[in-house]
Structure 1
Amino acid sequence: MSFGLALLLSVTPPSDDVVAPAPGPATPPPTEQNKDDDGRVVSSGGAVVAPPSAAPPPSAAPPPAPVAPRAAPPPSAAPPTAVAPPSDTAGSPVYVDYTDAWQEDPPSGVYLTEVVLHPEPVPYSPPPPPAPPEPVYDSGPRVHGFVGLSLRGTTTNRNPSALTGGRVGFVFDDRFTIGGAFYSLTARYAGSIVDSRGNELGMRMAYGGVLLAWTLYKGRVLDVGIESLAGAGAACISQSERYFGRWSCIEKVGLVSIEPGLTLGLTLSDWMRVGLTAGYRFVTREAWRPPNDFTLSGPYIGLDVDFGAFRGPR
């Protein structure tokens, strides 16, 4: 009967199902004749035999699944999803999918914020009218001319006398003046001149020359300076006491005059200036015929009135 049971098992038709061997001692590796063309292990009956898997000992716990060290996901990230192992074989590793646990880094950049202020409207008030410009007087280099009249009180032969005349000149940079002047004796007081017969005679004198002046102080109205007149002329004893017209000289002498002095000027307007002068007239002359000896030198004080362009706005 045992022979018949063995024969029945040997003729049992082959099955395509994979038969897992029972746990037991390790099966020796199959030989070449126990493998099919695909390299699978088959039994003597032609059935495919699954390779035995090493079962863990009953007392040993399965090893933990390897987890790669990663940073903790953000609070909003979804928890990792466990993925089933590729086979149901006991002891296979468990794979965890962290794909949804990570998010892309937030975009970085520069953010501009515009703040718009809305102040309260201020009522418009027109600006005040500009102040009228003040005239600025030119202080730069300039040249201007003038003409004027002169009156001088002096002495001739130690008697009070008067000289009248005129002057003209050019002023450079309101400092240096160059021009000319002419004076004539127009009056004598006291000290009559008589001839041997007792007839009264007159004296005539006239001279002119170069006028030079330098302004020491120049203000808007007041100026102070020095001046000098260097010239030549003549004097004579006249048969007439008149100081105008022909001289009708009895005796005539030539003279040279130098008149240094001080000046004080007052500029009254852009075209008028008044000056006070004081100095001394030095005269050298030819000798009179004896016993005549008339002195022509003497101090003087004068008044000048000049007309010209003395100042003006720039």
Structure 2
Amino acid sequence: MVLRLKENKPGIKMLTYNERIELRDKLANGEIGIELAQTQYWNDFKEGQKSWHTKDWKERRAKFIKDKCQICTSKETLTLQHLSHPRKYSEYLTEIRRKNAKNYIDANPQIDKTEFTSHIQEKYEYVPVPFCPNCKWSNPNERVRKVPKYRCPGCKQEFDVPIYIPLDALISIFYENEDALEVRDKCFISKQWRNAHNLSSVRYWLQRERATTKDTSAIEKEAFLLYLNDDIKYLSFEDTITACRRCAYKFDIKKMDLCPNCNEYYKGIQYPTCIQCLPEEKRKAALESIEFGKQWEQMHRDLEID
């Protein structure tokens, strides 16, 4: 069954609060698959669409909003202020992929050496690093004018010709000892992303890719259900208070609320009171710290330091 999309504005279609609950329950119970669920949720989605622009939001908001600000008791320009905000679907997807990869790696810690070598040759460019022939310190200092050309910062040995380890030999060292000095350098450049990895990193991303490929639908379903729960909680107004425009701005942007002692000054939400309500010595120290911070910022601006 395909859910009906409610049109809230010309050209804008979004699932209502109840339709999102229905979609989540159908997905959780296996009545629809992840692809259909995502299609129905994001159908005709446009960048910049906001839930609070919809008729559904406004109708339900009227049932929850109170007649005065719950922070300062003002009755001017009231709004529903969310105390928490939903995370992005991509964040949940990354989190579940990492968890799934860890479980897969714990169950399948080893990769066949031949398969690993083939994967590296296909996906990466090997850029060997020079090693000291005496102590195997990587990337010895290269000198322009002095001879011998190289000097090892580890054992202080001087030499003209460093050692370069062939790929097969480096992989063999890794399989014998994953903590060996020779395998720590990021000398493998991804052909796709052009970022550098060492052998441990290469193995991790191969295992993660295998884990993700193996359970793609299950991973996306778990992540999407978490996202829907987060989204539904946000739309439910469960974690909200009524706030005036000033208090909403202070809370949302400045992370501040009204001091419970004086009900006059705002404070950081992590602090019990405002600076004005602190004992004299602590208040003086706090004001001095703030003034120092302002002077420091001004100095940076004067010197054009970001």
TM-score bracket, normalised by the shorter chain, equals under 0.3
- Of structures 1 and 2, the one with the larger relative CO (CA 8 A, separation 6+) is 2
More strand, by proportion = 1
TM-score (norm 2): 0.17
TM-score (norm 1): 0.17
